[in-house]
Amino acid sequence: MIRVSSPLNSVRCLSAATLFVVSSFAFNALAQQQVPPAPADVNAPSAPTPTASAAPVFPKPDPANFTATSPTKETIDAFLTESWGYDENRVWQVEEILKTPVDGVSRVVVYVGDKTGKQKPLGMQFYVMPDGKHIIANDDILSFGEKPFADYRAVLQQRADGPYRGTASKELELIEFADFQCPHCKEAQPNMEKLAVDFPNARLIFQNFPLPQHPAAAGAAAYGVCVNKLGGSPAFFQFASAVFDGQDGLATADGATLTLNSAVTKAGLDPAKVEACSKTPEVMAQVKASAQLAKEVNVNQTPALMVNGRQIPANAPYETLKQIILFQEKLDGIKQ
């Protein structure tokens, strides 16, 4: 198993496991990592290569490879439909549901392709845990089941308390976990602006997730909390926009002070009051609580966008984001 020797200075290369909650696109270098990247699964089987421009032909499943009673094929198909159903070209076939030497742990193999045959089918495997609610794929632990995003959605509806724009309703929550010093988070901001326009029925929430490799990130997050306290959400989003615009200034301690104070002024507030507020234990505790919330819903990179509990990179291609959100609305019975 190969690991990146200096994970805090590299970008997260999304593994095959992460494709369960993202898409078939290679989102390499789209996110700032919090944990080391998962290596490619060298043990995953390979499916036959399809004829060009033809739908993939998967091998016929062997009944001898279905030795585990749980999960059922129906549960796996429901899970993959929730995860991948937004892509109408994607097709798959469950090839194996096998018992393992560990009681209650099942090994699942799925062949994945696309209807056009332009992509070579891939064999992917994951292990279903005894609780039936989680899988392990490479180094990732992911939610599993017929409604894999429901538990995270419930947690976020209760505890995501950052500044927001859009509707007060929590029926469609788009929650951005971001770090003010993360360059990929800056790149994601045009996407967030477009989402605010295209989904007026959504509640778009900003949650702080300062990463330890960014010295100015926690301080910037604390400033943001205080701007929201003193000026409300409109002032916060003015502040956030100014900080991202001047992000290069966060590279030094003096530059960070100037950048943050300038952003506070642009938001119409007093920098001295915001700075004093940002140093209070209460505010620092709030920043830490937001970071802890990110970890509890399995966010380990920035920028991450949680769409009713479904995690996708916030700086993915905009049309992909929009497509996934529209599909999630359909799954959750939300009128568009």
Domains in the chain: boundaries: 7-145, 151-331
Output the pLDDT for position 42.
40
Q: Which residues, given as ranges, of the chain have pLDDT below 50?
A: 1-29, 34-42, 50
Output the pLDDT for position 62.
95
CATH class label, 151-331? alpha beta
Output the pLDDT for position 53.
58
Claim: this prediction has a pTM higher than 0.75: yes
Do 195 and 174 meet the contact criterion of CB atoms below 8 Å apart? yes
Output the pLDDT for position 265.
98
Output the pLDDT for position 47.
53
Rounded CA separation 49/3 (Å): 30
Rounded CA separation 66/70 (Å): 10
In the three-class reduction of DSSP (H, G, I as helix; E, B as strand; rest coil), residue 185 is classed as helix
Output the pLDDT for position 24.
34
